[in-house]
Chains A and B, each alone.
Chain A
Amino acid sequence: MSAYIIRRIILILFALVGVSIIISLLTMALPADYVDIMLGTEQRTLTETQIQSLRSLYDLDDSWFERYRRWIVSIFQGTMGHSLRTGRPVSTEILMRLPVSLELALGATIIGLVIGVLLGVLSAIYREGLSDFVIRIFGLTGLSIPPFWLGLMVILGLALFFNWTPPRGRAINILADPIGNFKQFIFPVLVLSVAMAAALMRISRSAMLEVLQSDYVRTARSKGLTERVVLIKHCLKNAFIPILTLASMQMAYLIGGTVVIESVFSLNGIGILLLNAVNTRDYALVQGVVLVITFFFAFINLITDLIYGFLDPRIRYE
């Protein structure tokens, strides 16, 4: 088992290196560099000397290899390079925004899981009944409302009917001011959890149905165990695998993928950070954020697979 873990970790490291090289080359390949974007179309009102001088200031006249090498070194120094815009270490920029994204992702996943699985299981048990139909319609609606639109409607509604807007500006620290943090995050988290709950509901229903009909369960039923025991012990455990897979994938996706919600609710997360970094060609920042997102992704996958293996002995030796 520990050999498996170590192997996975080594593979994760390879993945991280691979990702960083790919993303580094990709951003380099994009037309226009940081100085181009900074100067905009007025560029040609500056002399060659001026532009050159600015490029040197931002270390843009080094070769790709040199920049990449320096960046790798900076990872071990803990800075992961520096943002061309603020001059601060990339790690600082990321750490300032990571809590926001983590809170959004975790919050939405937990709420989505609870509501989604509950509704999905109910829907599967009462299959074909009225409640099944209702739950499925709810699930479908949740899936089809674009989150940013829902977010905008929520803000509008709050302002119009309750004369209230969520606190803006600095992300409020959950430890320092849990109530303020709640006010800031509850609505974006709820909006994100709608889609999550809907997706999880559907997969829970589908997986539960699969399992409810399988030979395995029928055998267990025929042994005379009570319905409840049958359900909980056997069905959920097996049904949980695809549910867990989806939930973890969704959450990992959320860590880097909440750009639009962050924009609508003016939350400063790493989604917006990455988008701005790509738009301004802030190379080290792009590389750093992608690396962090990839790391979280791989990490969540590893944990999922371990839990997977724990739940289903058949998979343990893969």
Chain B
Amino acid sequence: MQIKGLRIIFLTLFLSVVLTFAGFSVNAESEPIHGGTLELARVDDATELDPHTTTAHPSRRIFELVYSNLIGLDADMQPVPELAESWDISEEGDEYTFYLRDDVYFHNGDHMTSEDVAYSIERILDEETGAAARSHIADIENVLTPDDYTIVFELKSPNASMLLHLADANAVIVNKAVAEADSLNSVENTVGTGPFQLSEWYPDEEMTLIRHADFYEEDKPYLDEIRFTVIPEEFSIVAGLRTGQTDFALLNLPTAALAIEEQTPNVTLSSELSLRWTPLFVNTEREPLDDIRVRQAINYAINREEMIASAMLGEAEPIGPIPSSLTFWAYDVSQSPFYQQDIDRAEELLREAGYEDGFTISINFMSGYEEVLSQVQVLQNQLEKVNINLELNSLERGIYIDRWVDADFDLSLSTNAGAADPDFYLFRYFHSEGSLAFIHGHWSNDRVDTLLEEGRREVDEELRQEIYLEAQEILIEEAPFIWLNAPYEYFAFADHVKGFTPLPTGGINYLKDVWLDN
């Protein structure tokens, strides 16, 4: 009897020990390891370091790691807490109250309070600063700090985009004392609250970020260091990934992405449909583009799938006025008749408009961008079929910008930055008072004006969605722009890099979750 009992006890003990160890080993595999340097390669270097004035993408990638926002965005582009633990929005939608964390420290040891937040927002709103995000949060009329960890924004009028704009990399919170004293465009004055700290920068060569020991998220970041290396040739970056010299890479070209997918087995390619968008900007002031039938004819002449397949090697998706990565807001263009290539219809429209013999227009684009050049060539080829002769103007960047800003073009093609909010893609271009509506001059649509105004104010998501869907439908039909496609954001990393979450913004914010398994 006793021996049997002993056996049972022994068996139980044995089993529990085994199970515990099994549990340990399961945990050990998914348990993040602290330490290590992440070798990150990318094509372009940061331009400048002031997070409020510098909008260049390579700089924003740094701001996302070194600074923090009031709120962040998750992989679905939904707001999540960052410096603010929680927030309230008044019923009318014109007052936002953020409750800040009390355990946030800047890289120089300063404790973050609502004063820093207030200062940062006011700095953005101050015209003297020249901040890029100003126009997005301009509805903020008053900034109040009832106590050290609470901040209140009083808006002129409700603005449904406010939360998402506050999550933007150019709306980060800076250190008041540092910013008041001196320019933020230097390594020493880049003092943020983000998971990593800027430690060294050799422009056009290397940038080193080190772990922020007092980061507010427990245990994170896991990495000791991230070393950004600038490698201007994407092909070279791929070679570096293959040989293990590079752990993580930010890539732009579909060919590089395909090279990794097909030829580099030890590297994972993560692609996210981007928030960026590639339209044909149309100057509706210029003949014959002032005629809606001509614009629609161009739409019908274009075969977007074909363009994507050859020019982008399949690495893009057709989009309407709002890119499909914003699944909740985007109009499903596969439903739109205007998006099916229809040469007959195109020719019919041109005949009606009196252009059956065709015409010549030119298209401006920036030189040095292979994807753009490819798309433009396909476009030229497709428009030829309806007798439209497209002249290609490859322009140096400064000249391209100059002409765009003066609306000195017939057509213009470039891939543009996006945002997580639908209003960003529409209001500034298509509302008659929009800051970029000069591109059209005479085009305007009262219904669209009304819809866009409502869309800005509407706090109810479902209603807002309806508003924007209707607006998009009208825009597709009126074709003040001709929307083509959205590319992918590419993140390539070695198999031993764990825990990364890619974002459609192209952001690497979630490097804070990354650890190295080697």
Interface residues of A (CB under 8 A from B): 30-32, 36-47, 49-51, 53-54, 57, 85-87, 93, 96, 152, 155-156, 158-159, 163-165, 167-171, 262-266, 268, 272-273, 276, 279-281
Given A31-B398, A46-B134, A168-B245, A266 and B232 contact (CB-CB distance below 8 Å): yes
Of A167, A266, A279, which one neighbours B230 at CB under 8 angstroms?
A266
CB distance from B286 to the nearest CB of A (A): 18
A157's nearest neighbour on chain B, judged by CB, is B239
B244's nearest neighbour on chain A, judged by CB, is A163
Query: In the assembly, what is the distance between CA of A39 and CA of B229, in Å?
Result: 25
Q: Are B402 and A32 in contact (CB under 8 A)?
A: yes
Q: Are B399 and A32 in contact (CB under 8 A)?
A: yes
B131's nearest neighbour on chain A, judged by CB, is A50
CB distance from B53 to the nearest CB of A (A): 7
Query: In the assembly, what is the distance between CA of A96 and CA of B205, in Å?
Result: 10
Name the B residues within 8 Å of A163 (CB-CB). Answer: 242-243
A276's nearest neighbour on chain B, judged by CB, is B204
Query: In the assembly, what is the distance between CA of A201 and CA of B326, in Å?
Result: 61
Of B47, B206, B239, B414, which one neighbours A85 at CB under 8 angstroms?
B47
CB distance from B161 to the nearest CB of A (A): 14
**Cβ < 8 Å to A, chain B residues 398-438:** 398-399, 401-402, 404-405, 414, 416, 428, 435-436, 438
Q: Are A54 and B130 in contact (CB under 8 A)?
A: yes
CB distance from B175 to the nearest CB of A (A): 19
CB distance from A193 to the nearest CB of B (A): 20
Query: In the assembly, what is the distance between CA of A263 and CA of B428, in Å?
Result: 37
CB distance from B264 to the nearest CB of A (A): 10
Given A47-B127, A263-B232, A165 and B398 contact (CB-CB distance below 8 Å): no
Q: Are A49 and B127 in contact (CB under 8 A)?
A: yes
B227 touches A (CB below 8 Å): yes
Of A36, A40, A44, A165, which one neighbours B55 at CB under 8 angstroms?
A40
Interface of A is mostly: helix
CB distance from A285 to the nearest CB of B (A): 11
Of B128, B202, B436, which one neighbours A45 at CB under 8 angstroms?
B436
**Per-residue A-contact encoding for B31-49, CB less than 8 Å = 1, 0 else:** 0000000000100000110
What are 5 A-to-B residue pairs whose CB atoms are below 8 Å? A41-B401, A50-B130, A50-B131, A50-B134, A266-B230
CB distance from B202 to the nearest CB of A (A): 6
Name the A residues within 8 Å of B405 (CB-CB). Answer: 36, 41, 43-44
Given A45-B435, A168-B41, A171-B205, A281 and B398 contact (CB-CB distance below 8 Å): yes
Q: Are A37 and B205 in contact (CB under 8 A)?
A: no
B231's nearest neighbour on chain A, judged by CB, is A266
Name the B residues within 8 Å of A272 (CB-CB). Answer: 204, 232
Given A40-B55, A41-B414, A86-B203, A279 and B398 contact (CB-CB distance below 8 Å): yes
Of B127, B203, B398, B438, which one neighbours A53 at CB under 8 angstroms?
B127
Given A45-B135, A169-B206, A37 and B401 contact (CB-CB distance below 8 Å): yes
Query: In the assembly, what is the distance between CA of A245 and CA of B19, in Å?
Result: 81
Name the B residues within 8 Å of A281 (CB-CB). Answer: 398
The winner among B48, B127, B229 for most chain A CB atoms within 10 A is B127
Of B134, B236, B398, which one neighbours A37 at CB under 8 angstroms?
B398
Given A49-B128, A165-B245, A40 and B205 contact (CB-CB distance below 8 Å): no
Name the A residues within 8 Å of B438 (CB-CB). Answer: 44
Given A159-B243, A163-B243, A264 and B236 contact (CB-CB distance below 8 Å): yes
